[in-house]
Amino acid sequence: MELTGRVVALTGAAHGIGAAMARRFAAEGAAGVVVSDVDAGGAARVAAEITAAGGRAVAVTADATSKKDLKALVATARAEFGRIDVFCANAGAAFGTGVHAADEQWQRSWEINVMQHVHAAQAVLPSMLARGEGYLLITASGAGLLGIPGDAPYSVTKHAAVGLAEWLAITYRPRGVRVSALCPLGVRTALLEPGIAAGHPAALAIAAAAPLIDPEDVAEAVVRGLGAEEFLILPHESVRESFARKAGAVDAWIDEMAVGG
């Protein structure tokens, strides 16, 4: 999937990884970028930056957990640019809580880290399948492959996000729709840095697992991964080795993670 001339829509694109991807896609020559976020002002700023740099972008206020909002987002993209070639379901949430997290935190984690991707697929697949091409990028996490101590809802739902991406890839690749799961570890964003500063075990474990990278580094990895149509896009290459090591010796991996936690 080359991005030149493509129309890309993103959720969670007002800040961090989403904003970096939106800017990078525009720089790669995207025909249009739909910047969506629950933060209307942030989405508008990113879209304005892209437009000022000579790209085409529109901002949409959308709650990524809302099926209605995602349908409206897709409708806006079609009205502005005619279609969506690449949909990046990127919004995410972490609470830094264990198995005894409040029911509301478990539910919110499920809604944003899993059901967002379900609703996005439901919204964009019909038109992609009709054209016989399209791309879904699901932002999961290295925690969805390796696990992470200290945050049960995040680890569990990110595993589910990877599982959903795999199912979508198996089901729809024969019909021309590609799917990738983006699985970074530590990235300098507002989702991680406050936890590191507070000394939270999950944030510290992620920071210790691999060097922190910038959102722009993730965007670079995404461009490469989409170009190669890789299922797993791993901005931290160490995740690939760790994932293989885990698969080869699961009990040893659990012992290692338990000591680290």
Instruction: List residues with catalytic annotation.
Output: 154
According to DSSP, the residues that pair with 8 across neighbouring strands are 33, 86
Within 13 Å and on the Cβ side, how many CA atoms surround 44? 4
The C-alpha angle 52, 58, 61, rounded to 5 degrees, equals 125
Cα–chain center distance at 58: 20
Q: Which phi and psi angles does 20 have, rounded to 5°?
A: -65, -40
Q: Token match 């016989």: residue?
A: 132
Nearest residue to 93 via CA among 103, 78, 106: 106
**Which 3-state string (H, E, C) describes 42-70?**
HHHHHHHHHHHCCCCEEEEECCCCCHHHH
